[in-house]
Chain A
Amino acid sequence: MDARMRRVLRLTAVALLLIVTANGILLWDVARNRSAVPEAELRLSEREFFVPQLWRGENSGRFLQLRYQYIRSIGDDGAWLVNPWLDREKLRDLGFHLPEKLVDAKNPRRVPRFPQKKVFLVLELAGPAYSHALAQARAEVEAWHVASAKEGLQDPKEHLHQMQEKNSRLFVVDAGLDVEALRRHYPKRQQYAIVPGRVHIWWNAPQQQEEPEFYSRLVLEQERIFVPLDFAPQLALLEEDVVSEERGRVKRGAVVQLAFGTRLQPWIVGIREKQ
C-alpha cells in the first residue's frame, strides 16, 4: 500500500466518522426531545394550520404551516398597536437597551441598529387573548355604522365571522429568556406552549417629518411541521374545503395533536377528523 493510498484511507476514516457523529448527535437530540413527557401538548384544529403549496410538484414531503396571531389593541392615538405588551420595559428584560431619545433623529445614519435576539415565545391556544380579540371584534360590529364606514374598510361583521370560524386561535402572548420562569407563569401545558423564536427591532419614521419610532416583530423559529407518512391520508382533512350553509366555505376539519418535547421541538402525535 503506497503513501497516497494510506493518506486517502485515513481521510476516508475521518469523513466516515464525521458522517456518523453528525447523524448520531442529531438523532440523539431527537431522542432526548421525545423521550420524556412532552413539555406541552396542544390540540390544534385546521384553523391553526395550512398546507403549504410551494414546490408541491417537485417536493413530495408533507408539511403543515403553523398559523398564529399577535395581540392587537387600539392605542391612545386611535392607531392599532401590535403586541402592546412588548414595550420598552419588556424589551429591556429581553436584552434590548433602547435609548430614551435618539441623538440625531433626523439623520438615519445615527439611528442605532439592533441585531435580532433569540428568545422563547409563549403560544396560547384559545385563551384570554383569543377571547379578548373576539370581544374586540364584537365591539367593532356594535360601534360600526354603515353611514360612517369609510371606503375600503373591512366589514366588521365579516371580521367577526372570520374570528369566530376561521382565524387561528393561537396567539403569541409573551416572550422571555428563561423557559422555566415562563412555564411557572403559564403552567397549563395543554394551553400554553413555549417555543424558540426571535425578536427583531428597528426604527422607522412613518413620515419624513416625524421622529423615528421603534418597531418590533416576533418570529417563531419553527413554523413548518413535518407530517410523517403515517398521517398522509389525514392530511386531506386539512386541505379539502367543504361548503356549508351556516359556515360558508371551510376546511373539512381535523384535530392535530402537536407535542413539544424537552428541547421544545414539536412533532405531530396524531391527526384525526373533527367530530
Chain B
Amino acid sequence: MSAGPSSDREPASREAAQLAADRIAVFRQELAQLAAAGVLRLNREQQQAVDKYHQMRLEQWRLLFDVDTHHQGRQFSLGMKITSFLAALGLGAAIFFLFYQFWGHFSTTWQVGLLFTASIGSLLACMHFAAREQTGYFSQLLGMVAFICFILNLVLLGQIFNIPPTHRVLLAWAAFAFVVAYASGAKLLLSVAVLCLAGFFSAQIGVWYGMYWLDAGGWPELFFPVAVPFFVLSLLPHRLYPVFPPLYRIWALLFWFLPVFVLAHWGAGSFLPLASQQVEWLYQVAGFVTGAGAIALGIRRNFSETVQIGVVFCTVFFYSKLYDWWWDWMPKYLFFFLCALVAILVLLVLRRLRVQSVQSLQTMQKQETL
C-alpha cells in the first residue's frame, strides 16, 4: 500500500495524527461548500482519488494511533478522558487511605518493602500500558496512580524514620512525574511535574537566601527565575508531544504574571529595597508592559494560549487599577459605566488592530502570488 505524497510527514504521535485527521474533516467540509457554491467542482476521477487517499490515511492513523475520525467519536473520547481522570483520582485516594488504614499492622521492614514494591509495581503497570495503548486512557490513569504511590513512598519513609520534611523531595517527585508524563503523554502529570519543579527551585533559592524552605511561598519573586526556563523549554521541538509546549508556556506565563499581580497589590512581599508603594507601582507597570509583550509575541509566533493569558492579565491588571482609583469615591453606577466604556474602547482598538493585521496578511499573500 502506497503511503501517498505526504508520507515524508507522517504524524509521530496520536495528537499529531488527530490534528491531521481534523484537517481532513475540515477540508472535506470546505470542498463540499465550494462545490455547492459552484466555485470548484472536482471531476469524478479527482473526487475518487482524493476520497481514496483520505480514506487510506484515516484508516492508517486509526489503526496506528486510534484517532477519532468522526464527531461522535471525539465526544466519546472527551468523556473517556474525564472518566479516566476521575478514576485516577479515585484509585489514588483509595491506595492512599488503604495504606494508612493498615500500615500500622506491619513491622518497619515490611512497611519499607511494601512502599517500595507499590512504587515499582504501579510504575511497571503504567509502562506496560504506555507501550501498547494508543489512546493513553489506562496508561495515564496508571501514571497518576504510580505518582501517588511514589509520593506515599517518600512521605511515609520520612514519617517512619522521623526525617524532617525537606524541599528536595519535590525534585524527586518532579523528575518522576516528568518521566511518567513523557511515557504516557499525560498532560495532568506534566503539570504536576512543572509545579513540583517550580516549588523546588523557588524553595532552593529561598534556602540560599537564608530562609526556611516552606516560607518561599510567601515571597512571590522567588517564582520569577522558574518562568524563563519553562518558556525556553516550550520553544524546543516536541515532535512526539505536540500538546506539551503550550502547557509549558501556560505555566511559564502563570509563574510570571501571578507573582507580578500579587506584588502589584502587596509591595511588602518584595525583596526589592524600595518602599512598599514604589514596589507596587513598579510591578503595575511591569504587569502592563509584559502583558502587552505576551500578546504581541503570541500573535507573532501564533501561540494562542500566550495571547489569551496576556489578554486576561492585562484586563485583570487594568480593572484592579480602576477599582483602586475609583471604587471608594465614585457612585457605583458611574464606576460600572466607566468600566463598560473602557471595555468598549479596548474593543474598538482591537478591531482596528485586527483589520490592520488582515490587510497586511493580504498584502503579503499578493506579493507572494506575484
Contacts and interface: CB of A to CB of B under 8 A. Distances in A.
Nearest to A225: B162
Nearest to B173: A22
Chain A: number of interface residues, binned into ranges = 35 or more
B219 interface: yes
Given A110-B275, A222-B164, A265-B161, A228 B176 contact: no
A109 B276 contact: yes
Contacts of A229: 104-108
Interface in B95-118: 97, 100-108, 112, 116
Contact of A11 (B105, B163, B183): B183
B212 A58 contact: no
B215 interface: yes
A18 B172 contact: yes
Interface in A196-231: 196, 198, 221-222, 224-226, 228-230
Interface string A15-26: 110110011001
A240 to B, nearest CB: 18
A109 B211 contact: no
Contact of A16 (B107, B123, B267, B275): B123
Interface string B211-243: 110110011000000000000000000001000
Contacts of A135: none
A61 B156 CA distance: 10
Nearest to B100: A59
A228 B162 contact: no
B162 A267 contact: yes
Given A95-B210, A229-B105, A18 B131 contact: no
B210 A117 contact: yes
B104 A61 contact: yes
A184 interface: no
Interface string A187-202: 0000000001010000
Interface stretch (A1-9, A42-50, A155-163): A1-9
Max chain B CB contacts within 10 Å: which of A22, A55, A230?
Answer: A22
Interface residues of B, number: 55
Contacts of A33: 161
B347 interface: no
B154 interface: yes
Contacts of B269: 113
Given A15-B180, A58-B100, A229-B108, A109 B268 contact: yes
A117 B211 contact: yes
Nearest to B110: A229
A137 B119 CA distance: 54
A59 B206 CA distance: 34
A63 B127 CA distance: 36
Interface in B308-362: none
Interface of B: 97, 100-108, 112, 116, 119-120, 123-124, 127, 130-131, 146, 150, 153-154, 157-165, 172, 175-176, 179-180, 182-183, 206, 209-212, 214-215, 218-219, 240, 267-269, 275-277
Given A226-B161, A228-B107, A230-B107, 11 more contacts: A9-B127, A11-B180, A15-B146, A61-B104, A61-B159, A109-B268, A115-B215, A117-B210, A228-B160, A229-B105, A265-B162
Interface of A: 4-5, 7-9, 11-12, 14-16, 18-19, 22-23, 26-27, 29-30, 33, 55, 58-63, 95, 109-111, 113, 115-118, 196, 198, 221-222, 224-226, 228-230, 232, 265-267
18 contacts: A8-B131, A11-B130, A12-B124, A12-B183, A15-B180, A15-B183, A16-B120, A23-B116, A26-B154, A26-B158, A26-B163, A109-B277, A116-B211, A226-B162, A228-B107, A229-B105, A229-B107, A265-B162
